Amino acid sequence: MFSDLRVSFFLAVRGILRGSRGSLYLTVLIIAMVFTNMIFMPSIILGFIKVAEDQIITYQTGNILITPHEDEAYIEDVDELLEKVNHIPGVLRASPHYSTGVTLRSKGNTIGTSVVAIRPDDERLVTDVYQKMKDGYYLADGEKGEIILGIQTSGHKDENDDMGATLGYLQAGDPVTVEFTNGVSKEFHVKGIIETGSYYADQGAYITWDELESVYGKDINKASDLIVKTEPDAYEPDVKTQLYRFGVREKVQTWQDILTEAMGRAVQNFAMLNSITIIVSLIIAVVVLFIVIMLKTINSRKQIGVLKAIGVEKKIIINNYVFQVLILTTIGVIVGVTLVESMVAILTVYPFQFPDGEVTPVVATSDLINNTIMLFIVSLIAGYIPAWRVASEDILTAMRA
| 77-88 pLDDT per residue, tens | 999 999 999 999
Query: If pLDDT is split at 50, 70 and 90, which confidence band does 392 have?
Result: low
Work out the average pLDDT over 192-200: 87
pLDDT for the residue numbered 46? 81
| 322-366 pLDDT per residue, tens | 888 888 889 989 999 999 899 888 988 888 877 667 788 888 888
Work out the average pLDDT over 187-215: 91
pLDDT for the residue numbered 1? 59
The CA-atom distances, in angstroms, between 265 and each of 57, 69, 205, 271 are 20, 24, 29, 10
Query: If pLDDT is split at 50, 70 and 90, which confidence band does 312 have?
Result: low
Work out the average pLDDT over 269-273: 76
Chain-wide mean pLDDT for the chain? 85
